Amino acid sequence: MPGGRLTQEERQRVAAGLAIGLSCAEIARRLGRPGSTISREVARNGGARRYRANQAQQATRWRARRRKPHPVAPVPAGTAGADPLLQRDFEHRFAEMMAGTGVPAMMARVLACLFTSDTGSVTAPELVARLRVSPASISKAVGWLEQRGLIGRERDGRQQRYLIEDHIGYQAWQTSLQSMALWVEFTSQGAELFGDSAPAGARMRATSRFFRHLVQDMNQAAEHWRQTVATRH
């Protein structure tokens, strides 16, 4: 199906296309896939500069281990055996913690709801009922989270069901790496523009070196973790 999951061969073609500077739209056209399928694939697996076919395939295997849930309640169930009031209080504090680290408030609430659900999945109407917000607010929140590879989606009858990624920490780490890579790129440009002899140029050069070093260390740590997890399965 045009919108189905990509094969490993298709992922290799995506990586090859990105390597020669093709846009996601052009890659999608060549593969006969929707543009949104390719753009989500690239965004959730490191972005255009860090997309690797093998890593993307491994991440898909992680997500494929999840079984489709069969909820019996109109709102997502929490952790079995937990006191409902204590659970909701934790969910609220969890969302506040994420908001304090830079995640927009509504996105944090949705993510906290998914984290504390037994199934790790929920539909938009369930989120609307649980968080008591408008469908438009939920749509914006899940779009933001999906763009960053933090949640996925699958068809559940006529509805879309949103899923929290099993290895969300790895995905969040990759998003941070992309942000830091932009700092490296722009501060390097600034250093070249102003020159190292100028205070602004020297400041930017030092900043660029710092983030470059940080990106290298974080990349090594993320790859070590990925390989460690892969050997356990």
Threshold 0.85, pTM exceeds: no
Averaged pLDDT for residues 176-196: 88
How far CA 136 is from CA of 52, 133, 139, 141, in Å, comes to 34, 8, 5, 9
More confident residue, 56 or 108: 108
- What is the Cα–Cα distance from 140 to 137, expressed in whole angstroms? 5
More confident residue, 160 or 200: 200
- What is the Cα–Cα distance from 146 to 165, expressed in whole angstroms? 10
The pLDDT of residue 66 is above 60? no
> Residue 81: its pLDDT value, please?
55
